[in-house]
Amino acid sequence: MQKAWVYEEYGSVEVLKLISNFQCPTPQHNQLLVQVRAASLNPIDFKRRQRPIFPSDFPVIPGCDMAGVVIGKGAAVTKFKIGDEVYGNIQDFNNGEPLKQLGTLAQLIVVEESLIAQKPKCLTFEEAASLPLAVQTAVEGFETAKFKKGQNVIVVGGAGGVGTLVVQLAKHLYGASCVVATTSTPKVEFVKQLGADKVVDYRSTKYEDIDDKFDFVYDTIGDCKNSFVVAKDEGVIVDITWPPSHPRAIYSSLTVSGEILEKLRPFLESGKLKAVIDPTSPYNFNQVPQAFRYLETGRAWGKVIISNFPSYQ
């Protein structure tokens, strides 16, 4: 048996409870059994808990992202061995199947080998756990927009879990000619340090007052109903929230694959792409409710991390 955070009904953070007698999972032919060392929280985790947007049987263990150590595997697994340090998003949103009941806020999880990657040695478990879903979302937005080197981009919500990675990817991977980002007053300098050429304080500047027009509006917070005014006539607006808040906006879904993480390895190892962890993190495993309460305020800088998972004997 193992320790895990579960909920057995939809609702606020109060429905979460920590139990110590949850059945340990068994890896199937193409799956790995991973001892979780760190996990990160995403908005989808609390939205799924609040209402049945992804219906599943109860009890549910929340969590998509993790980093940990392989301690078991199915007979068909070929890429990984016992003892490997791995990371990934274990929930495949596009395979047509219901999401896994058993997420990453547990001592042990099972995951298909195609969904994970070797953890870069330069990353801590906490840094690695912060990346998968957010960076996969960030990459998908550029692919959806068919972004071309030399175009300019404005990132709406540049200090969030996805936005911090979009700013860095635009600058260092996709070759944007100019990267502009919006954020609140306390985070302006922080977003500049990520590589933004210009940062707009949305508390003091309206979209209508921004002089530039952009090839690509990457909206991470669902504000297209307002931000569309900074798009060029032929510009692309991508919204990662559902439903898109403006008729011109294209919804960017999510491709979950360990291959995406492997392709980003050189940028992680060179330091061109850095994990961004909220200063309040990491939260201990027994502080999951506090971590969710903070995430749900919408004030996080980067990702909220859960660490210090109890070791499994």
Q: Are 130 and 40 in contact (CB under 8 A)?
A: yes
Please state the pTM of the whole predicted model: 0.95
Q: What is the pLDDT of residue 93?
A: 83
Q: Give the pair of three-digit tokens for residue 151.
A: 């175009």
Helix residue ranges, H only, the chain: 43-50, 125-129, 132-145, 163-172, 188-193, 224-227, 258-263, 265-270, 288-295
Mean pLDDT, consecutive 10-residue segments, the chain of 313 residues? 97 98 96 98 96 89 98 97 98 83 97 97 98 97 97 97 97 96 96 96 95 97 96 97 92 92 96 96 98 95 96 78
Q: What structural domains and CATH numbers belong to the chain? A: 2-131+275-307 (3.90.180.10), 134-251 (3.40.50.720)
C-alpha 37: how far from its chain's center?
17
CB 41 within 8 A of CB 291: yes
| pLDDT (0 to 100) of residue 228 | 96
pLDDT at 233: 97
Q: First and final CA of the chain: distance in angstroms?
A: 10
| Residue with token string 């302006």 | 188
Q: Residue 253's pLDDT is what?
A: 83
pLDDT of residue 97: 79
Predicted confidence at residue 269, as pLDDT, reads 95
Rounded-to-integer distance, Cα 287 and Cα 282, Å:
10
The b-or-e profile of 206-216 (16+ CB within 10 A means b, else e) is ebeebeeebbb
- So what's the pLDDT on residue 1? 93
The pLDDT value recorded for residue 287 is 98
Helix or strand holding residue 5 (H, E): strand 2-6
Q: Are 154 and 214 in contact (CB under 8 A)?
A: yes
Inter-CA distances, 213 with 121, 135, 221, 228, Å = 40, 25, 19, 10
Count of Cβ atoms closer than 10 Å to residue 166 Cβ? 31
